[in-house]
Amino acid sequence: MSVFIHESHPTFHLQNDEISYVMRVLPDGQLGQLYFGSRIHDRETFDYLLEGAMRSHSAYPEDDQDLLSQEHVKLEYPSFGTGDYRQGAIEILQPNGSRVSNFKYQGYDLLPGKPVLEGLPATYTESDDEAETLVIHLNDSVSGAAIDLLYTIFARGGILTRSAKITNNGSESFLLERAMSFCLDLPDCRYDWIQFSGSWARERFPVKRRLDIGTTEIESLRGHSSHQQNPFVILKRPEADEFSGEVIGLSFVYSGNFRTSAQVDPYGVTRLMTGINPTWFSWKLESGQSFQTPEAVMVYSRDGMNGMSQTLHNLYRTRLVRGEWRDQVCPILINNWEATYFDFNEEKLLHIAEKAKECGVELFVLDDGWFGARRNDRAGLGDWVPCTDLLPEGIVGLADKITALGLRFGLWIEPEMVNPDSDLYRAHPDWCLHVPGRPSSLCRGQLVLDFSRPEVVDYIHAMIAKILREAKISYIKWDMNRSITECYSAAASPDHQGEIFHRQILGVYDLYERLLQEFPHVLLESCAGGGGRFDAGMLYYAPQAWTSDDTDAMERLRIQYGTSYGYPLSSMGSHVSAVPNHQLNRTTPLKTRAEVAYFGSYGYELDLNRLSAQEQEEVSRYSQFMKDHRQLLQYGTFYRLQSPFEGNEAAWMVASEDLSEAIVGFYRTLSTVNQHFSRVYLKGLDPDACYHIDGMGDFYGDELMNAGLVVSDGTSGKVGEDILPASDFFSRLFILRRCGCKNTESRD
């Protein structure tokens, strides 16, 4: 890792083992971008990459002798209004009504390691030699606004992080109306754009389109990252695939409103940006005040989309997730929600827990309905006091009884919400987001608490912390079941209302951080009606997330496959649920449900007492299998092999870091007859090592990767007396273990 700085015509070259990023101060004082991609040698000047020409209807500085219009150069943090007609990264409304600004280079600082972004989630380092951070200072002399652009390059991997800090050094206040975290101008538009879209119960399905002149954009204005769009996109060359070709991944480490866009101008230049959604955003900066944008993480790979994903997985597992649970395997849990919904008492819960313990479960989680007047989803939210009608000795007593069984105990909460039918709302109706004089919209019978107000966060913290201090709780499932409407705070003045969406998520982060610091032993799992806030920002506080409320195994194949492009397996809550499935009414084999759920943080979402004795014995075997292999399944290198979005079959695998073992999952949605023979081409093995596969024999790694793993079964040919027919919703696992033999033949 090196940052080369050439002072004579200020040029900055950030370089590590895989990538280079080159910037230059332009003749007009703006900061321009010259190159981003595979590592290149440093040189004294890269000015040959700075091209200019006279073009009609373009604006040029009066003293520009180099024909460098802002419209036609690649800029690092552009603003609209002085010649660049593309979308800008920053917009400031000044006291005289002008939005024109012109930020020019002032200097730089080079820091070892990576600074903390106060109050915000971000990647981090544990030693200064892991990364370097270049801070470039820009200034607008008229408004007094200053920008610090932060660039962190990690020592290994194609990783560059970006953010910006805006400070008012002037004498008058101004409104910051746009402050993006990241802008990258690419010299051409020959890219496929891949976004991850959906809705409740079908989150993060990949959607691909070719970039062309105009703007391709995704966003959320729901107050959270959303089920509908995810703050992660991929740009890939059209010829790039899962294992080869140039790929850029852009991940926004933020959980609120966002916008990510790719704007292609008529000359084919692509401007890629991400940041806080500027719609309904404004932030008043008084003299001397600053605003820090969230972090954006960019990953570059020449090894296709798998290469990009693996780099991002490793970064997020080890340098975004924090705390005691970062390096621990996830416990096997059972959640009572789909087993009981609101219809439970202590006796019923203990009955479920006893059977779960017999079947190898390690953690029992009590879901919604344990507090206040919560007998349905229209009452009680906000009253975090155990209901002794259901739990005679409260959460303390239930936790003691669960832990006496040899299980850990976990609890569901939804601290950001309130029901109008609650003691909290009756006492403090102004503590929810609402517009005075207008009706409030309800969703799931609830309103959103105003977490932009510190006193509201303090109140909720006190109630939750009291329970955690008193009871033996080792896990919290933190839910959030509605998007924000009527985003207005009764505590904020009119000129600060544009801050509320952002202050709301800052309040959520604050509550997470306070609980995390006081109760570091507690495993936090985030949830938002399933996958409505599955983003990098939440991983900073909660190392795993409920991937989707859709627990059907075949749908989870697609949801987990899509999620894996940007997020590691260890972060994905993946459970075996009851059949017929509660979302689709589909019945899938218990074996298939387990063999899909293995590839994540494994658990159960049903009452095991309702299974037959044979099924309970199966569950015990599946639990033991997960215990034996979860280090590999959750922290191994993951490969997408065959997409469930492209056909009737799907496959994926994980391989250990030392290449000594691997697990392959193969799945077929619907059975077929007299079909072709099938092979799956594996990845990530030692080509010279021999691997044993139970029931199949020994194979060299190069065979399995190049000739393929034969997965043909009863669907190939005619079913006979000695050939069992395949079934719908079929799955099969292949366990590979390196043998003692080694291929000693020379490899040309």
Q: Could you say which of 631, 663, 681 is where a domain stops?
A: 631
Same domain? 174 vs 64: yes
Q: How far apart are CA 684 and CA 162, in angstroms?
A: 31
327, part of any domain: no
476, part of any domain: yes
CATH of the domain at 593: 3.20.20.70
Q: What is the DSSP string of 110-162?
A: EEES----TTS-----SSGGGEEEEEEEEE-TTT-EEEEEEEEEESSSSEEEE
Task: State what percent of residues in the chain have pLDDT above 90.
Answer: 92
Same domain? 308 vs 198: yes
Cβ–Cβ under 8 Å, residues 336 and 366? yes
Q: How far apart are CA 132 and CA 15, in angstroms?
A: 10
Q: pLDDT (tens digit, 9 = 90+) per residue, 587-620?
A: 999 999 999 999 999 999 999 999 999 999 999 9
Q: Which residues are catalytic?
A: 479, 549
Q: With cut-offs at 50, 70 and 90, classify the pLDDT of residue 748.
A: very low
Q: Could you say which of 631, 659, 682 is where a domain stops?
A: 631
Same domain? 579 vs 715: no
Dihedral, 53, 58, 63, 68 alpha carbons, nearest 10? -40
Same domain? 363 vs 233: no
HEC assignment per residue over 665-728: EEEECCCCCCCCCCEECCCCCCCCEEEEECCCEEEEHHHHHHHCEECCCCCCCCCCCCCCCCCC
Tell me the residue range of the domain where 694 lies: 642-742
CATH of the domain at 212: 2.70.98.60
Q: How far apart are CA 518 and CA 353, in angstroms?
A: 28
267, part of any domain: yes
Same domain? 227 vs 111: yes
Supply the pTM of this predicted model: 0.96
161, part of any domain: yes
Largest interatomic CA distance in the chain: 88
| Number of domains making up the chain | 3
Q: How far apart are CA 372 and CA 381, in angstroms?
A: 8
- Say yes or no to pLDDT of 747 above 60: no
CATH of the domain at 692: 2.60.40.1180
The secondary structure of residue 198, as a DSSP letter, is: E
Instruction: Name the burial class of residue 423, with classes exposed (0-12), middle (13-18) and buried (19+) by CB atoms within 10 angstroms of its CB.
Output: middle
Contacts of residue 399, defined as CB under 8 A and 6 or more positions apart, other chains included, come to: 409, 471, 472, 473
Average of pLDDT values for 249-275? 97
- Say yes or no to pLDDT of 113 above 50: yes
Q: Could you say which of 580, 611, 631 is where a domain stops?
A: 631
Same domain? 289 vs 348: no
Closest CA to 280 of 539, 6, 484: 484
Q: pLDDT (tens digit, 9 = 90+) per residue, 206-218?
A: 999 999 999 999 9
The secondary structure of residue 331, as a DSSP letter, is: P
- Say yes or no to pLDDT of 562 above 90: yes
Let me know the angle formed at the C-alpha of 319 by 315 and 322, rounded to the nearest 5 degrees. Answer: 135
Same domain? 237 vs 214: yes
The reported pLDDT for the residue numbered 715 is 85
Same domain? 362 vs 214: no
500, part of any domain: no
Instruction: Please state whether beta strands 523-526 and 544-546 pair in parallel, antiparallel, or not at all (unpaired).
Output: parallel
The reported pLDDT for the residue numbered 725 is 62
Distances (CA, A) of 228 to 200, 205, 218, 531: 8, 10, 9, 10
Q: pLDDT (tens digit, 9 = 90+) per residue, 131-188?
A: 999 999 999 999 999 999 999 999 999 999 999 999 999 999 999 999 999 999 999 9
Task: State what percent of residues in the chain have pLDDT above 70.
Answer: 97
168, part of any domain: yes
Same domain? 277 vs 421: no
Q: pLDDT (tens digit, 9 = 90+) per residue, 39-91?
A: 999 999 999 999 888 888 888 877 655 668 888 899 999 999 888 999 999 99
- DSSP, collapsed to helix, strand or coil, labels residue 71 as helix
Same domain? 460 vs 528: yes
